[in-house]
Structure 1
């Protein structure tokens, strides 16, 4: 039987929601400071200043806490919708890249841990896919509205752009002392050249 990593209790009152947020904030600090393996629920409870029983009221194990951190990250990013309509292509790509880079800058080591070690279950996969599909559709619409685009397959191009803009900051900002604005500039240059190169031919 698969392990249940879904939250046990849905906070329905302000006090309960604040307790959940305290647990997640404490867990983010503990995972960053001690690593995921050493980030026990006891340490999380101590950092959050709640009983271990209170932690288990909301989360059955630390895997579910890590998954909740990543889902919250995804939902915050998805909620910050961008309006790219009518913008010149380089400006729209820059805005798209900047939001992703800024979202990764808060704590890139924690984000990398969440992405690489969060438990995989159907609910989590569903949220990730829905988030990706929304962003791909947004980029697909952007490409379709620009006559200078030279790629033949807009669906594949949109999927590649979303994954490039998501994964490069995730990898590079977590492992290297890289200037985020320099990364932004290079991403925009790379994607603009890919999308507008005049010598592309159908595969």
Structure 2
């Protein structure tokens, strides 16, 4: 493991419930601090103060704020995976438009916690090898799920369903990230409707 990889990893994984509670307090505090002050001004001192712990206690868990932000982004990706698994366990809608809408809505809902924090994570989170692999794994799961739906739905007209699945997944991820994290507010219902209509038209044309 390189020195850059080490500096982006937590210093220890909690083994006791009390330690896990402290770790969660640090992450929750960091999310608020980054959202309120931005990444440059979101210092570890501010995070420790918000979490009501000493700076020394914070450094027992994380070597720097980069490692904290990486952990927040990893948690965001895990939440997205959990949402996908939840929807996979449900009976999909009959119409292709309905299937696409469920996919778009899940992506939007996964980005609603704090748009300011989302912007910090997307634009400034360091990319470690482990994090890049997690992002790639998340994308592969989404693409595989989408392709399986496209391969078996009678309304689909695209011939290359693998490329179509990759385009659909990338479009939703990029558009939702960009518009929800944008400084000017976006109407979420309109975003859902327009993105659903655009993808459905592409897949059925």
Unaligned runs of 5+ in 2: none
Q: Specify the SS of the correspondent of 1:35.
A: helix
Deviation at 1:116, TM superposition (A): 1.4
Task: Say whether residues 1:129 and 2:136 are aligned partners.
Answer: yes
Q: Specify the SS of the correspondent of 2:131.
A: helix
Task: Say whether residues 1:195 and 2:203 are aligned partners.
Answer: yes
The 1:85/1:139 distance shift into structure 2, 3 A limit, reads: farther
Hey, what's the Cα distance between the residues in 2 that align with 1:13 and 1:76?
23
Deviation at 1:86, TM superposition (A): 4.7
Matched residues, number: 197
Deviation at 1:108, TM superposition (A): 1.4
Give TM-score scaled by structure 1 length: 0.93
Give TM-score scaled by structure 2 length: 0.92
5 Å-filtered alignment, 1:98-137, equals: 98-137=105-144
Q: What corresponds to 1:47 in structure 2?
A: 50
Q: Which has the higher helix share?
A: 2
Per-residue CA deviations over 1:101-151 (Å, capped at 9, x if unaligned) read 111121112112102111111111111111111011000101001122111
Q: What corresponds to 2:181 in structure 1?
A: 174
Unaligned runs of 5+ in 1: 198-203
CA-atom RMSD in angstroms: 1.2
Task: Say whether residues 1:60 and 2:63 are aligned partners.
Answer: yes
Q: Specify the SS of the correspondent of 2:41.
A: coil
Select 1:147's aligned residue among 154, 160, 165: 154
Hey, what's the Cα distance between the residues in 2 that align with 1:156 and 1:14?
45
The 1:28/1:139 distance shift into structure 2, 3 A limit, reads: same
Q: What corresponds to 1:7 in structure 2?
A: 10
Is the 2:79–2:110 Cα contact (8 Å) retained in structure 1? no
Deviation at 1:85, TM superposition (A): 5.3
